[in-house]
Chain A
Amino acid sequence: KQEVTQIPAALSVPEGENLVLNCSFTDSAIYNLQWFRQDPGKGLTSLLLIQSSQREQTSGRLNASLDKSSGRSTLYIAASQPGDSATYLCALSGYSTLTFGKGTMLLVSP
């Protein structure tokens, strides 16, 4: 059974800092890994999807990496902004479902 752990559970940084969010998983037999953003009272927004054959994906200031052999993924956010404040979830895809971590709550202060 897939287990997904995200560290840290919460992170507070000043605006402009670069930061890394971590995700680890126990079963490397995955199809892909996704990073989502969840804003309070809102649904989830998919940020990046990495196929199991890929090592990383980039979108703007976001870069996600995947290392299946070590069961780890990182989400790198460059030059953080207050608008980046949200909960970030990683999710591992099996054949038909996603298994989510509990998320990292990020607060970027002006």
Chain B
Amino acid sequence: DTAVSQTPKYLVTQMGNDKSIKCEQNLGHDTMYWYKQDSKKFLKIMFSYNNKELIINETVPNRFSPKSPDKAHLNLHINSLELGDSAVYFCASSQSDGPGANVLTFGAGSRLTVL
């Protein structure tokens, strides 16, 4: 059974479109994250939710809007896609949100290509 699953795995779309990436974890974890890995392979935190509440919101354009309907799901909606949004987006989860003692479990990633 997949612990953290993301869909879709690949997404190719035109500039200006709106798209969503979904994430679900079946580990019973309280905290979920979205990370972005750019073309230089640099992984950076975007958002973190603990029990459906936003706890971390890094400097990310407001075209990106996370939604957590319950603690097992954290979806990422992106409006008005731009070329620079092309990246691999990783969802992750951990037991709780701190203090840093938790091992993160990552999904397989969703590769977004904006043309």
Contact = CB atoms under 8 A, between A and B. Distances in A.
Interface stretch (B11-19, B37-45, B65-73, B77-85): B37-45
A36 B37 CA distance: 14
B85 to A, nearest CB: 19
A81 interface: no
A44 B90 contact: yes
B84 to A, nearest CB: 18
Given A43-B106, A43-B108, A44-B106, A95 B4 contact: no
B60 interface: no
A45 B4 CA distance: 12
From A46, A93, A97, A103, name the one whose CB has the most chain B CB atoms within 10 angstroms.
A97
A51 B55 contact: no
Where chain A touches its partner, the secondary structure class is strand
Contacts, number: 60
Interface stretch (A16-24, A27-35, A63-71): A27-35
B45 A97 contact: yes
Interface residues of B, number: 25
Interface residues of A, number: 25
B43 A100 contact: yes
Contacts of B107: 43
A93 B101 CA distance: 8
B86 interface: no
From A32, A43, A91, name the one whose CB has the most chain B CB atoms within 10 angstroms.
A43
Interface of B: 4, 33, 40-45, 48, 55-56, 90, 92, 97-101, 103-109
Given A31-B99, A36-B106, A42-B109, 5 more contacts: A43-B109, A46-B105, A94-B100, A96-B99, A100-B42
